[in-house]
Amino acid sequence: MSVEDFSRDVVSFAKQPAMSGGSRLTSGKKRTVSSRRWLERQLSDPYVAEAHRRGFRSRAAFKLIEIDDRFRLLRPGGRVVDLGAAPGGWTQVAVQRTQAAKPGGGRVVAIDLLETAAIAGATVLTVDFLDEAAPALIREALRGPADVVLSDMAPQSSGHPDVDHLRIVALVEAAVEFAVEVLAPQGALVAKVWQGGTEARLLATMKKAFGSVRHAKPPSSRAESAEVYVVATGFRGMSR
């Protein structure tokens, strides 16, 4: 996909008033320049403050909230898998929107190689989703196929954009393969990619498996960040 095609394909979110607030960093002369900049950004970031106020484990929760407000993927009673879930912000949103913590509500499974603290209303699995046994474990925990697969996974930066791009494409490919194994008909996948869109080959594969494939950058995603999200809906299976 070319940059021009990608730009046309990105979903336009309605303009929202920016959150305001935050604190200034007034001390810390012994901190390194990079750590001081990170702290200043965190302290002045209204999403960080709002995440703390609302009990979310990360500001990333607002990215899923904004994506779901646009696409309406998470519904009461739905079954959701969150890949690479730690620390759990997306899982918390999924639990809220599927009402998984309430009797008769949805079911949410969070999966990560990292230990993730328990989240009320979710089943947390510390396993590799690439393991051959993972899809069966997920189906058992969900008591059926998934309606939505979420992936906010990203590789650690190597400092080399081309290398990082290949790594995140590999993660998205793995997420797509996993989604094909566990999704119910008309299910959906949300996965992080880098700006520039999804690789043409992978995009073609997704368009065969899903009725609609779009790119979106939610307002809470930092402007300087290269991240965007591919949102695939209307799962119809892979033709053999």
Q: 89 near 58, Cβ under 8 Å?
A: yes
Q: Which amino acid belongs to residue 234?
A: G
Q: 31 near 39, Cβ under 8 Å?
A: yes
Give the whole-angstrom CA distance, residue 104 versus residue 65. 22
Catalytic residue among 15, 29, 63, 192: 192
Give a three-class secondary structure readout of 178-228. Answer: HHHHHEEEEEEEEEEEECCCCCHHHHHHHHHHEEEEEEECCCCCCCCCCEE
Give the whole-angstrom CA distance, residue 210 versus residue 91. 23
Give the whole-angstrom CA distance, residue 176 versus residue 228. 16
Give the whole-angstrom CA distance, residue 140 versus residue 182. 11
Give the whole-angstrom CA distance, residue 231 versus residue 191. 7
Residue 208 known to be catalytic: no
Residue positions annotated with a catalytic role: 192
